[in-house]
Amino acid sequence: DTGVSQNPRHKITKRGQNVTFRCDPISEHNRLYWYRQTLGQGPEFLTYFQNEAQLEKSRLLSDRFSAERPKGSFSTLEIQRTEQGDSAMYLCASSTTTGSSYNSPLHFGNGTRLTVT
């Protein structure tokens, strides 16, 4: 299967600890997105990359959050000094910019569910 892969699927951590999530996009996709989703809500945009360049960050992404995509392939999302409010599903998606970039559907991974105790 060549879909978007996210690891780990679940992460339980204690408040104050750092966590890192990984996303492997579909190989030919040059855009990669991170979203956060809390229970009963739609996904909220966090940040996105085109190749290795981080082109936009949401105001939701505090200084404790950092994302990288060093070689334009996989990406990592790190949360430092986790808080209980960080508990959520973190979703990664990828897309391609062939054709009009306005009309590219996103391909999502199954997410990493973070629980901060």
Partner 1 sequence: SQQGEEDPQALSIQEGENATMNCSYKTSINNLQWYRQNSGRGLVHLILIRSNEREKHSGRLRVTLDTSKKSSSLLITASRAADTASYFCATTLINTGTASKLTFGTGTRLQVTL
Residue numbers of the site for partner 1 (CB under 8 A)? Answer: 4, 31, 33, 35, 40-45, 48, 55-56, 91, 93, 95, 97, 101-111, 113
Measure the CA–CA gap between 35 and 96, rounded to whole angstroms. 17
Measured from the CB of residue 49, what is the shortest distance to partner 1 in angstroms? 12
Nearer to partner 1, 27 or 103 (CB): 103
Nearer to partner 1, 37 or 66 (CB): 37
Measured from the CB of residue 87, what is the shortest distance to partner 1 in angstroms? 15
Backbone φ and ψ of 85, nearest 5°: -70, -10
Nearer to partner 1, 80 or 107 (CB): 107
Nearer to partner 1, 43 or 67 (CB): 43
Task: Name the nearest CA neighbour of 96 among 86, 85, 107, 87.
Answer: 107
Measured from the CB of residue 81, what is the shortest distance to partner 1 in angstroms? 25
Give burial (CB, 10 Å; 0-12/13-18/19+) of 22: middle
Measured from the CB of residue 85, what is the shortest distance to partner 1 in angstroms? 17
**DSSP letter (8 states) at residue 30:** -
Task: Name the nearest CA neighbour of 26 among 95, 88, 83.
Answer: 95
